[in-house]
């Protein structure tokens, strides 16, 4: 069986974890957490990076930083992971979904302006598959209406838009280091704070609402409760694991890009013949090979293909039942405009195995199975 995902492991992680234990400091904000902050800041050129306990928690921190209040509206795509919406619903927001672009599966920037009301507070673009949203246009709209932009860059680590790292273009960016993402610490994430005026507040939110960070820097002689917050900092052992992978992020990135390109080259004939659709990367985006997907004709063909691949030892998956049609989505959200692509395109999409360590002959096997499945259409 070729699994769909294997958590990244490059071999230097255990040594780091041993070191973190030897440091007698396994709680948060130890040596490796600090090192991860520096590495992420270097990798992305962001003002401030703070490790969090998950991508979900990074989004929750961003929602608090955005000062979302009950009744505020937040615009995002419906084709995303539940956490994108949940983080804002937890603060009392109403979610307003708009349709996606069928080419990238990202929010359609041309539909955002029409969804804005006097209650709108933020726009949350999701960089699906590590491919950047049209950020120039999104930021132009945000500026015009005085809205906050929170980038859900959970899938976007080492992805770029016009040379800028995903997660550093809006007010706040959120990374995930879950085991299914390109870089991992098991469970983890990071919030990128791109606004100087929010850095101190982000440290306070992450440290249970206290100014402990100022205390650690010697700026105050005791620390106390100063604002709302929670415990969003991960253990230094988890940071040690991640640190090994992002010290040189190109190791994992290059390997993933090579796999992605191999899939693309192998399968492009099927696209040329109009049998399947392959991912599209806009000119101004550098993607990070977070995902390789294909699109079948419709949901029935996709179901048959999943079964066929499984019979041939390949595990492929789909995801994201559009949030507006889910039980909670009906309660907490509305869909603005027409659902032209969100449901229809999500039903066609199939994700193929892609992980650090996937071998060339395994990629070739997956592709051979797909050709075999479509044999009579060629
Ligand atoms: C993975 C993911 C998240 C959540 O990250 P966790 O670290 O699993 O909490 C949020 N949004 C998107 C788009 C994701 O892919």
What is the pLDDT confidence band of residue 133, given thresholds at 50, 70 and 90? Answer: very high
Pocket perturbation via mutation, ligand 1, pick of 105, 154, 172, 319 by most ligand atoms within 8 A of CB? 154
Atom of ligand 1 nearest to the CA of 126: 13
Compute, in angstroms, the gap from residue 67 CA to the centroid of ligand 1. 21
**Residue 278, token pair as written in the block:** 């392959």
Per-residue pLDDT tens for 5-46? Answer: 999 999 999 999 999 999 999 999 999 999 999 999 999 999
C-beta neighbour count of 228 within 10 angstroms: 11
Handedness of CA 66, 69, 72, 77 (dihedral sign): positive
pLDDT of residue 378: 86
Average pLDDT, the chain: 97
Up-side HSE of residue 212: CA atoms within 13 Å toward CB?
Answer: 14
Q: 3-state secondary structure string, the chain?
A: CECCCCCCCCCCHHHHHHHHHHCCCCCCCCHHHHHHHHHHHHHHCCCEEEEECCHHHHHHHHHHHCCCCCCCEEEEECCCCHHHHHHHHCCCCEEEEECECCCCCCECHHHHHHHCCCCEEEECCECHHHCCCCHHHHHHHHHHHCCEEEEECCCCCCCEECCEECCCCCCEEEEECCCCCCCCCCCCEEEEECCHHHHHHHHHHHECCECHHHHHCCCCCCCCECCCCCECCCCHHHHHHHHHHHCCCHHHHHHHHHHHHHHHHHHHHHHHCCCCECCCCCCCEECCCCCEEEECCCHHHHHHHHHHHHHCCECCECCCCCHHHCHHHHHHEEECCCCCCHHHHHCCEEEECCCCCCCHHHHHHHHHHHHHHCHHHC
Compute, in angstroms, the gap from residue 18 CA to the centroid of ligand 1. 28
What is the pLDDT confidence band of residue 103, given thresholds at 50, 70 and 90? Answer: very high
Is pLDDT at 54 greater than 90 in this prediction?
yes
Is pLDDT at 143 greater than 90 in this prediction?
yes
Is pLDDT at 319 greater than 90 in this prediction?
no
* 343 backbone φψ class: left, alpha, beta (φ>0; ψ -120 to 50): alpha
What is the pLDDT confidence band of residue 367, given thresholds at 50, 70 and 90? Answer: very high
Per-residue pLDDT tens for 235-248? Answer: 999 999 999 999 99
pLDDT of residue 238: 98
pLDDT of residue 246: 98
189-193 vs 48-52, strand pairing mode: antiparallel
| Angle separating helix axes 299-311 and 360-373, nearest 10 degrees | 130
Question: Is 377:113 a contact under the CB 8 Å cutoff?
Answer: no
Whole-number Å distance between alpha carbons of 75 and 206: 25
- Going by C-alpha positions, the residue among 183, 186, 211 that lies closest to residue 199 is 211
pLDDT of residue 241: 98
Q: What is the mean pLDDT of residues 240-262?
A: 98
Compute, in angstroms, the gap from residue 96 CA to the centroid of ligand 1. 19
Pocket perturbation via mutation, ligand 1, pick of 83, 290, 351 by most ligand atoms within 8 A of CB? 83
Pocket perturbation via mutation, ligand 1, pick of 176, 177, 179, 242 by most ligand atoms within 8 A of CB? 176
**Residue 248, token pair as written in the block:** 């040189």
Whole-number Å distance between alpha carbons of 100 and 346: 10
**Closest CA to ligand 1's atom 2:** 154
Q: What is the mean pLDDT of residues 169-188?
A: 98
Is pLDDT at 354 greater than 90 in this prediction?
yes
**Residue 87, token pair as written in the block:** 């983080």
pLDDT of residue 331: 96
C-beta neighbour count of 114 within 10 angstroms: 9
Q: For tokens 């928690």, name the residue.
A: 57
**Residue 170, token pair as written in the block:** 């809006």
pLDDT of residue 161: 98
**Residue 341, token pair as written in the block:** 């692509």
Compute, in angstroms, the gap from residue 224 CA to the centroid of ligand 1. 32
Compute, in angstroms, the gap from residue 81 CA to the centroid of ligand 1. 6
**Residue 114, token pair as written in the block:** 């029409």
Compute, in angstroms, the gap from residue 129 CA to the centroid of ligand 1. 11
Is pLDDT at 159 greater than 90 in this prediction?
yes
Atom of ligand 1 nearest to the CA of 83: 10
Q: For tokens 């040329």, name the residue.
A: 272
pLDDT of residue 245: 98
Phi, psi of 18, rounded to the nearest 5 degrees: -60, -45
Q: What is the mean pLDDT of residues 56-60?
A: 98
C-beta neighbour count of 269 within 10 angstroms: 12
- Contacts of residue 359, Cβ cutoff 8 Å, sequence gap at least 6: none
What is the pLDDT confidence band of residue 226, given thresholds at 50, 70 and 90? Answer: very high
**Percentage of the chain with pLDDT > 70?**
100
Per-residue pLDDT tens for 72-99? Answer: 999 999 999 999 999 999 999 999 999 9
Site residues for ligand 1, CB cut-off 6 Å? 54-56, 80-81, 83-84, 126, 152, 154-155, 176, 178, 189
Atom of ligand 1 nearest to the CA of 127: 13
Atom of ligand 1 nearest to the CA of 56: 9
Of the given ranges (181-185, 210-214, 270-274, 281-285), which has the lowest mean pLDDT? 210-214
Compute, in angstroms, the gap from residue 185 CA to the centroid of ligand 1. 13
Q: What is the mean pLDDT of residues 299-308?
A: 98
Q: What is the mean pLDDT of residues 201-230?
A: 94
Whole-number Å distance between alpha carbons of 189 and 232: 10
Compute, in angstroms, the gap from residue 55 CA to the centroid of ligand 1. 5
Per-residue pLDDT tens for 304-318? Answer: 999 999 999 999 999
Whole-number Å distance between alpha carbons of 194 and 302: 40
* Residues 85/91/96/98 CA torsion (nearest 10 deg): -40
């Amino acid at each position: 069986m070729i699994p769909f995902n294997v958590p990244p492991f490059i071999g230097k992680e255990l040594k780091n974890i041993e070191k973190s234990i030897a440091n007698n400091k396994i709680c948060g904000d130890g040596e490796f957490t600090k090192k991860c902050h520096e590495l992420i800041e270097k990798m992305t050129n962001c003002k401030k990076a703070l490790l969090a306990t998950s991508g979900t928690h990074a989004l929750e921190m961003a929602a608090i930083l955005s000062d979302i209040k009950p009744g505020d509206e937040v615009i995002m795509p419906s084709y995303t992971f539940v956490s994108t919406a949940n983080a804002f619903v937890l603060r009392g927001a109403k979610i307003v979904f708009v349709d996606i672009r069928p080419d990238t599966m990202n929010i359609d920037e041309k539909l955002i302006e029409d969804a804005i009301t006097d209650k709108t507070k933020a726009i949350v673009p999701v960089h699906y598959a590590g491919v950047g949203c049209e950020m120039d246009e999104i930021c132009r709209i945000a500026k015009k209406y005085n809205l906050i932009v929170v980038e859900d860059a959970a899938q976007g680590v080492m992805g770029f838009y016009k040379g800028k790292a995903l997660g550093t273009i809006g007010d706040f960016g959120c990374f995930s280091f879950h085991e299914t993402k390109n870089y991992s610490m098991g469970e983890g994430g990071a919030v990128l704070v791109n606004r100087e005026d929010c850095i101190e507040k982000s440290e306070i939110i992450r440290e249970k609402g206290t100014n402990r960070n100022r205390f650690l820097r010697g700026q105050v002689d005791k620390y106390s409760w100063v604002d709302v917050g929670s415990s969003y900092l991960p253990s230094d052992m988890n940071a040690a694991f991640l640190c090994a992978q992002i010290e040189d992020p190109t190791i994992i990135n290059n390997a993933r890009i090579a796999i992605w390109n191999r899939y693309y080259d192998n399968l492009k004939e099927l696209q040329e013949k109009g049998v399947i659709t392959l991912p599209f990367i806009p000119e101004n985006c550098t993607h990070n090979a977070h995902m390789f997907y294909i699109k079948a004709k419709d949901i029935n063909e996709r179901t048959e293909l999943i079964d066929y691949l499984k019979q041939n030892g390949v595990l492929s998956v789909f995801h994201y039942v559009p949030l507006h049609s889910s039980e909670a989505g009906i309660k907490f959200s509305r869909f603005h405009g027409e659902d032209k692509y969100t449901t229809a395109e999500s039903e066609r999409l199939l994700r193929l195995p892609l992980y650090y360590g996937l071998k060339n002959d395994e990629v070739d096997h997956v592709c051979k199975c797909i050709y075999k499945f479509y044999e009579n259409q060629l």
